[in-house]
Chain A
Amino acid sequence: MATSTTDTTLDPHEPPIATGDGELYGILAEYDTPGELIEAARKVRDAGYSEFDCFSPFPVHGIDEAMGIKRTILPLIVFGGGFTGLVGGVFLQWWMNAYNWPWNISGKPSWSIPANVPIAFEATILFSVFAAFFGMWILNKLPQVWHPFFRSDRFARVTDDAFVLGIESRDRRFDAVATRKLLQDAGAIAVEDVYLEGDPARKTMPKWIVAFIVASTAFTLIPFAIAAKARNSHSNQPHVHLFPDMDFQPKFKSDTAMDLFADGRANRGDVPGTVARGQLKGDDEFYRGLAGGDGGGWITGFPKQLEISDATMKRGQNRYNIYCSACHGYDGRGNGVVPQRVAASGGAWQARNLVEAGGPTVLMPNGQLYNTISNGYNTMMGYAAQIPHADRWAIVLYVRALQRSQNASREDIPPDQQGSIR
């Protein structure tokens, strides 16, 4: 470093030797202990200086007060940030959930304060921390990569073991001689002038640094350029496979081609003439709802495996409420949560009313009802994969009970209880 130092010249009447390069930037004074630094700072402040700072390897309690630094406004900035986060977090959720795109999720309200507290809390924290972090940077004039005091070797030691006070020459009370004397009288163990760079060639950034910045910036743009090109052009070349052993594995997926077998398929069906365990399902009534034999239609009763009991009815209700009520509604009138949601989003769709007197479902034979649950009907998907056979029959039983109850007349009530109905 082209540092020009005038080591402690204790005679204040002799002007500092201008070894330098440029004009005087400021004066550094080193003190032995934090306590002496504080005392010196107080003297400098009392002398009316304002453009000075203290540098130490660790925070020194009391230095703020000694230097006459006002309390930081950072807490107010953080409070503003936190408040912004709170209001912003609440507004974000209100805008998205309750105003711009309300969505009926199982009938829950689209705007509910408790559900919004975690996001509001997190947003408050996030914005507070941002305000604290960037507010601190701005108040401390960071990032600052260079400062004229760096030209002093002594100054480098403030990150290690030196306690330094520096006064800048732009202070209106600055006087090269008087200021030196002040710092020395305050107990400095060394005082040093710091000059700005005088050589104009050295004031500009070296060319190799400029070149490096330009080159590295250009280099970081390359991936983005490649991505942008790929997104805006067509190619008939195959993909680049970064992990070929994962993209091409030695196995066959279902429903793909394979030359090993005569039929050219990778899938291998059951061996002809065999049935997998538990897959025979020979009973047409129970498994398909059909009367046995050729040309048998839908059965109208229930298969003999189904025990018509209170327990089966309860089971059917339970399964119905789980699988069917979402569309058909708990009462079977076709107004479940899904149609409600369709209506809430502006559409119009009703599920089939299962209990309408004289309607298709009421007239449907049991076997066909069972078949509908198994294999679906129009837009309704089949439930064979989700609901076991016995449970499907239990649902049929329960739907019959629903139809009966929803179309009940006074005569359906036992005579001894009719008096309690008004």
Chain B
Amino acid sequence: MSALQKTLHPDEKIKAGKLGSSLSKIGVGIAVIFLGLSIILTLMGSPSGGHESKWARFFHAYVIGWSYIFSISVGMLWIVMLHHLVRGRWVTAVRRVCEAMAGAFPVIFIAGLGFVLPLVFGYKDLYYWAHPDAHNHELNHHLLHKLGWLSPNFFFVRYVIYGAAFSFLAWYFQKKSRQQDESGDPKISETLRIASAPAMILYSIVTCMAAFDILMSMAPKWYSTIYGVNFWGSACVGAFAALALILLGIQRTGRLTHSVNAEHFHDIGKWMFAFTFFWAYTAFSQFMLQWYGNMPEETHWYKYRMFGEWQWVSIAMIVGFWAFPFVFLLSRWTKRIMPSLVFFAVWQLVFHWLDLYWNVMPSYQWQVAFHDGARIVAGPLSGNTAFHHVAFSPVDVTVWLGLIGVFLIGLGRNLVGNLIPVKDPTLPLSLAHEVQ
């Protein structure tokens, strides 16, 4: 068992074959069924609350589901670049799958037009800053100076820039890696290592800015500089959990059964564990300073989540997204025994979604209250806790599942050719990887 290097097992199936196209078909099926169901449910439903359009719920759920699949590709692009940057070894055996998951960006950003285009064409009930009331000086005098940045057209321009940047990075790293499959040129590894440093800087900036624009601007009057980092931590939890599940799924089809073993899953589990704590660390950093500082322009965001029904969701986040997985993932064996790893991966994928839900939905609930006249007694995201409902809707879940189908389409497109970088110089080291 023990050697410093290994070659690919002779019986190993490393060709994707029809895997990608069948996965894309499954993705199309899921997307059509669940997004269609969401549209039907929305059309059947009545407007929740006052006179905001009945589509507001759908679009908020869409932003959550979209951010979910976006975040998984964000996390996977990061591990690909980090692997090159630090000349990592163990990832090599699974890197092609990571590249494929990151390569879903173009599809994801096309799907994101589902909420961006209505915004551009004047839909006002998704982002409060796009609502005509946002320009009301009396209500929003400390929002007005942000409206230059937060305007639908400029938002669209930035969205295109983010999409181009992410898609380019994912495409570049995958393309070069596949070139190495053909040529076996070790210099490509060196090229990618050099490219990964500036790529990492670009990546950090666009990730933070995208989180600010798409998620944080749901509460446009709020301030938090760590928000992007916090989103990224949550994203990486979901990404590594998804990677573990997708790899196990690929192994079910008889591929990669020798190359990827408990050692690799152990390290994937370690990353998931590490980011579980990282998310909690940044989330608490954000909370702690605002709670202690006690400034209204910051605390209103937490006020809406700490009181009323949302406080139970917040407590569920602390216990479910951090405490429980943290304590159990401490052990080596919960990450090496596959049923256990699968349990925690699924668990964290659900709570990653809840995290995004918890970030976005209170803003929607506020808009409902706002249109019911809450603004008379309170400014945005403040006021009576009686408005702090968790009005769960089936649409929240169906949109999410439909967008997971969209992600599978994006992933399937990239599962072609070799599922492993066969001529990467570090592959023998990765195949022989052992976690001490």
Contact = CB atoms under 8 A, between A and B. Distances in A.
Contact of B2 (A65, A114, A118): A65
A79 interface: yes
Contacts of A65: 1-2
Contact of B436 (A34, A61, A118): A61
A59 B3 CA distance: 12
Interface majority SS on B: helix, strand, loop or mixed? loop
Contacts of B117: none
A301 interface: no
A66 interface: yes
B4 interface: yes
Interface in B399-436: 432, 434, 436
A109 interface: no
Contact of B292 (A35, A63, A115): A115
B287 interface: yes
Interface residues of B, number: 14
Nearest to A115: B292
Given A61-B434, A62-B434, A114 B1 contact: no
Given A75-B332, A79-B330, A61 B4 contact: yes
Contacts of A62: 1-3, 434
Contacts of B292: 114-115
Contacts of B328: none
A61 B2 contact: yes
Contacts of A61: 2, 4, 432, 434, 436
A38 interface: yes
Nearest to B1: A62
B287 A114 contact: yes
Contacts of A118: 288
A66 B1 CA distance: 10
B307 interface: no
Interface residues on A, range: 10 to 19
A117 interface: yes
A114 B332 contact: no
B284 interface: yes
B269 to A, nearest CB: 15
B385 to A, nearest CB: 19
Contacts of A63: 2
A59 B330 contact: no
Nearest to B285: A118
21 contacts: A34-B4, A35-B3, A35-B4, A61-B4, A61-B434, A61-B436, A62-B1, A62-B2, A62-B3, A62-B434, A63-B2, A64-B436, A65-B2, A79-B330, A114-B288, A114-B291, A114-B292, A115-B292, A117-B284, A117-B288, A118-B288
Interface of B: 1-4, 284, 287-288, 291-292, 330, 332, 432, 434, 436
Given A114-B291, A118-B288, 17 more contacts: A34-B4, A35-B4, A61-B2, A61-B4, A61-B432, A61-B434, A61-B436, A62-B2, A62-B3, A64-B436, A65-B1, A66-B2, A114-B288, A114-B292, A115-B292, A117-B284, A117-B288
